[in-house]
Amino acid sequence: MITRSYRHPLNSSRLEPGEPLLEVSDIRLRFGGITALDEVSLSVRQGTVHAVIGPNGAGKSSLLNCISGLYRPQDGTIVVHTPAGAHDLTRRKPHRIAQLGVARSFQNIELFRHLTVLENLMLGRHIHMRNRLTRSLVWFGPARRQELAHRELVEEVIDLLQIQSVRHKPVGALAYGFQKRVELGRALCMQPALLLLDEPMAGMNAEEKEDMARFVLDAHELAGVTVVLIEHDMNVVMDISDRVSVLDFGRLIADGAPEQVSTDPDVAKAYLGEEVQA
Partner 1 sequence: MSDFLQMTLFGLSNGAILALAALGFVLIYKATRVINFAQGHFLLVGAYAFYAAIVVLGLHWSLAVLVGVAFAATLGVLVERFVLRPMIGEEAIAVIMVTIGLSSVLGGGVQLFFGTTPRETPQFLPSGALTMAGATMPWSRVAAIGIAAAVLVTFSIFFTRTRHGIAMRAVADDQQAALTMGISVRRVFALAWALAAVTAVIGGILLADLSGVSAGLAGFGLIVFPVVILGGLDSVPGTIVGGIIIGLLVQYTAGYVGGGLEQVVPFIVLILILMVRPYGLFGQTRIERV
136 binds partner 1 (CB under 8 A): yes
List 86, 88, 91, 126, residue binding partner 1 (CB under 8 A) = 126
**C-alpha distance from residue 145 to each of 8, 64, 201 (Å):** 16, 36, 37
| Strand, coil or helix: 248 | strand
The CB density around residue 252, as the number of other CB atoms within 10 Å, is 21
List 14, 91, 114, 145, residue binding partner 1 (CB under 8 A) = 114
190 binds partner 1 (CB under 8 A): yes
107 binds partner 1 (CB under 8 A): no
List 113, 145, 214, 269, residue binding partner 1 (CB under 8 A) = 113
Using CB under 8 A, which of the segments 14-22, 116-124, 228-236, 262-270 binds partner 1?
116-124
Q: Which is nearer to partner 1, 193 or 236 (CB)?
A: 193
121 binds partner 1 (CB under 8 A): no
167 binds partner 1 (CB under 8 A): no
Helix 142-160 with 206-223: angle, nearest 10 deg = 130
Q: Would strands 75-82 and 102-105 be described as parallel, antiparallel, or unpaired?
A: unpaired
Instruction: For the CB of residue 186, give the shortest distance to partner 1 in the complex, in Å.
Output: 7
Instruction: For the CB of residue 157, give the shortest distance to partner 1 in the complex, in Å.
Output: 14
Please report, as residue ranges, which positions from 71 to 100 form the binding site for partner 1 (by CB under 8 A).
93-96, 98-99
Structural contact between residues 189 and 125, judged by C-beta atoms closer than 8 angstroms: yes
List 48, 107, 131, 262, residue binding partner 1 (CB under 8 A) = 131
249 binds partner 1 (CB under 8 A): no
Q: What is the DSSP letter of 191?
A: -
149 binds partner 1 (CB under 8 A): no
Q: Which is nearer to partner 1, 119 or 242 (CB)?
A: 119
List 7, 32, 139, 276, residue binding partner 1 (CB under 8 A) = 139
User: Per 3-state DSSP, what percentage of the chain is helix, strand, and coil (rounded to 5)?
Assistant: 40, 25, 35
Encode 186-225: b = buried (16+ Cβ within 10 Å), e = exposed.
bbbbbbbbbbbbbbbbbebeeebbebbbebbebbbebbeb
Q: Which is nearer to partner 1, 28 or 96 (CB)?
A: 96
123 binds partner 1 (CB under 8 A): yes
112 binds partner 1 (CB under 8 A): yes
Number of H helices, E strands in the chain: 10, 10
Distance CA 17, CA 15 (A): 6
Distance CA 174, CA 178 (A): 6
The CB density around residue 275, as the number of other CB atoms within 10 Å, is 8
The site for partner 1 (CB under 8 A) is made up of: 68-70, 93-96, 98-99, 103-104, 106, 110-115, 119, 122-124, 126-127, 129, 131, 133, 136-137, 139, 143, 186, 190
